[in-house]
Chain A
Amino acid sequence: MTEQTAKIECRDLSKAFHVPGQDQRLLVLDRVSLTVRENEFLVVLGPGQCGKTVLLNCIAGLIEPSAGQVLLDGTPVTRPGPDRAMVFQRYALMPWKTVEHNVAFGLAVRGVPMKERREIAHRYIDLVGLKGFEKAYPEQLSGGMKQRVGIARAYANAPDILLMDEPFGALDAQTRYAMEQDLRSIWEKDKRTVIFVTNNIEEAIYLGDRILVMSVLPGRVKAEYAIDIPSPRNYTDPAFLTYRKQISNATDLSL
């Protein structure tokens, strides 16, 4: 596989929903096309209500697009699969499972033997910095720690593609910075193809190799930026601030 091969390709993806009490269907995604290279970190940046989550759900195979298609390595997506893993804004952890069993969820679904499941789960719990919390229940963890579990759960299933739906959106600013740094360094240690959805410019520039900016409803791809800053990135680096000014001038995201 060459550098140029698209890992994920969306072709003219449109999605309209029926809204109760309205005759017209609400167009949420309007002919969105994008490609993601293997092991690329793509950030989709847009305000609330721009169809980012719907886009991600289409790629995950959780919902079916009204028109257009999603191709993974050239094959159309029809349903969810172990080649993709999702990290949710509201964590979506099983409250009755311990950290260890939450992380091993995808493995259990695929019928991986108990012993191997445990080993893999522990490896990723270590990776996200939650060593010692294997037996804790999600209820006993802070928001940031819960999302670490969410990230470990996604990683543990060994997907090619990570789909992250505003994973740090519910966290306080301090925790958010820490999580961004950790995610970036985890990804550098263990590269995957990532689509990361956010409404935060700083987060987008800190994490992404490339940023797609989306417009408000109906969601369209409005602009694209390649972020060429070497790691480790710094929020106050002049190059960082230049990107930030450039992107916020070009978009209606005020900052």
Chain B
Amino acid sequence: MIGRLGKRLMPAALTTGSLLAFVAFWQVVSLYTNPDFLPSPGRVWDEAVRLFHTPVGGKDILAHVGYSLRRVLTAYLWAILLGLPLGLCMGWNRTCEKIVSPIFELLRPIPPIAWIPIAILWLGVAEGSKVFICFVGSFVILVLNSYTGMRYVDPLLIDAARSFGASRRQQFFNVAVPACLPSIFAGLQNALSMAWMCVLAAELVGAREGVGFIIIQGMDLNRPPMILVGMILIGIVGSLLAASLRWAERALCPWRRELV
């Protein structure tokens, strides 16, 4: 009886335990450190409460999160709209692969951050350049994942579909695309966290709003707690985004067995 209840509570207990241990460790370390370098968890909490009530740069903290999120999601949707079909076509059609992949292989190794200067010159310091950076980051990942996923589709499944008289179109939409859904989801997951990373890089370079701006403000005002609040917010929002995608994957790919 205890065993069964224990099994159900165990994961939750482990999660809470590990978070508490982390905060405790932080608390202990902060006791022995100059508080100007590493503020204690309590001070960071107070700072978070203060930021919720006092606007920074004319906007409250949730509005800043909203700005960053909007940039990320706009870029992400464009990346899905353009990158997914492109990657799938590259994996499906030889001609398409031969045309696109040489260009893509050249652009791929350029880190998204390296696009920041040219993006600012082209699109200005406002929204355009930030969305563009996020787009570049997530687009590349989405193309690569859907392309690889398509290349690893078992040809036997295509043969089976062909033997039942499926047209080329049916082979693509009813067999090949669902077969690579798992790698598409891996790509969606990675692309979203990449976009989230890129938005911060872009905001650090120059922004008047967004989570990146809060961190830079913290640095300019010499307020470590403010920087940490910004960083923790980034972590929380990022993991919420990842969790919602994992949930979507479970709902859309119920046949997949998972190890954990």
Contact = CB atoms under 8 A, between A and B. Distances in A.
Interface of A: 60-62, 80-82, 84-86, 88, 90, 92, 94-97, 105-106, 108-110, 137-139, 157, 163
B171 to A, nearest CB: 9
Contacts of A105: 160-161, 164
Nearest to B166: A109
A137 B255 contact: yes
Contact of B165 (A80, A88, A137): A80
Contacts of B156: 88, 90, 92
Contact of A62 (B162, B170, B255): B162
B181 A96 contact: yes
A109 B164 contact: yes
B165 A86 contact: no
B163 A80 contact: yes
B179 A109 contact: no
Contacts of A88: 156, 159-160
A163 B161 CA distance: 14
A80 B179 contact: no
Contacts of B179: 94-96
B175 A94 contact: yes
Interface in B132-157: 154, 156-157
A96 B157 contact: no
A86 B159 CA distance: 10
Given A94-B175, A139-B255, A110 B165 contact: yes
Given A94-B178, A94-B179, A108-B174, A60 B253 contact: no
Given A105-B164, A108-B174, A92 B157 contact: yes
A86 B160 CA distance: 7
A68 B204 CA distance: 70
Given A88-B160, A94-B157, A110-B165, 14 more contacts: A60-B163, A61-B163, A62-B159, A62-B162, A82-B164, A84-B163, A88-B156, A90-B156, A92-B154, A94-B160, A95-B255, A96-B253, A105-B160, A139-B255
A106 B165 contact: yes
Nearest to A83: B165
Given A94-B157, A96-B178, A82 B165 contact: yes
Nearest to B170: A109
A96 B156 CA distance: 15
A85 B164 contact: yes
B250 to A, nearest CB: 13
B162 A106 contact: no
Contacts of A92: 154, 156-157, 159-160
Q: Which 10 A-B pairs have the closest CB atoms?
A: A92-B160, A106-B164, A86-B163, A137-B255, A109-B166, A96-B178, A92-B156, A80-B163, A82-B165, A96-B255
A137 B256 CA distance: 9
B181 A157 contact: no
B157 to A, nearest CB: 6
Contacts of B162: 62, 80
**Which of B179, B253, B255 lies at the interface centre, i.e. has the most chain A CB atoms within 10 A of its CB?**
B255
Contacts of B181: 96
Contacts of B4: none
A55 to B, nearest CB: 14
B229 to A, nearest CB: 43
Contacts of A85: 163-164
A84 B159 CA distance: 13
A82 B164 CA distance: 6
Interface in B24-54: none
8 contacts: A80-B164, A82-B165, A88-B156, A94-B178, A96-B178, A96-B179, A106-B164, A108-B174
Nearest to A111: B170
B94 interface: no
A97 B181 CA distance: 13
B8 interface: no
A138 B166 CA distance: 21
A138 to B, nearest CB: 8
A157 B159 CA distance: 16
B7 interface: no
B214 to A, nearest CB: 43
Nearest to B175: A94
Contacts of A90: 156
B257 interface: yes
